[in-house]
Amino acid sequence: MHFTLPRKPGTATLMLLLTAMTKPSLLLLAFFSLLVVPPSLAADPDMLQDICVADPGSGVKLNGFACKPAENVTEADFFFKGLATPGATNNTMGSLVTAANVEKIPGLNTLGVSMSRIDYALGGLNPPHTHPRATEIVFVLDGTLDVGFITTANKLIAKTITKGEIFVFPRGLVHFQKNNGAVPAAVIAAFNSQLPGTQSIAATLFTATPSVPDDVLAKAFQIGTNEVEEIKSRLAPKK
């Protein structure tokens, strides 16, 4: 028996097919469903037009940014030179992330990609953090880094990478990079989201506004409330 399947079969169509299909046909349908579903799992929604340059000043609230009027779009909306220059790493962590996302390049709106440059001083650390909306892949420009991520089974996947090499951090998993080499290091990172988002674990927990209650953090980390306050004071943004 042969069936002509619509491009995206609805529930009613699938129910009719299920009642008529043999077991081999059901296996084929299951395989077909695997081909149909993955696009819905993309980090960002698929675009519906050639371009949709972000217009943050529009005042329109939606998942992403409203589109700038086409007549106002220019080449500047698709250009950014901020990754060409090493970032200043004279800070507490000894690292600096320079983002090239939709907030810097409005033309990235709806395209589902972005990049960053990360520079590391000697001993510099990009502390444990997550990107809730994207997988990250890094390419080492210079130096050597110890990198790793932690799975939900609490397994550390780690490796030392050097110039010209690549490492991947799966979406949403806690990960880090540390320069234990003898020279400064730098990477270019790519993301499958126009705005991947970043949550630094320590800063998220200890510098949130309003504050996470001291007793919550004390019990979670098995430390005293005085130690919690000390950590909060150390991580507080400099004024």
Annotated binding site for oxalate: 126, 131, 136
Annotated binding site: which residue ranges?
126, 129, 131, 136, 175
Cβ(77)–Cβ(107) under 8 Å? yes
What is the DSSP track for 21-78?
Answer: --HHHHHHHHHHHHHHSGGGGSSSPPPSSS---B-GGG---SSS-PBPPGGG--GGGG
Cβ(119)–Cβ(184) under 8 Å? yes
Distances, alpha carbon 132 to alpha carbons 43, 116, 176, 202, 204, in Å: 9, 16, 15, 16, 13
**Closest by CA position to 203, among listed 94, 95, 129:** 129
Structure tokens at 106: 């409005």
Annotated binding site for Mn(2+): which residue ranges?
129, 131, 136, 175
**Closest by CA position to 212, among listed 199, 225, 194, 222:** 225
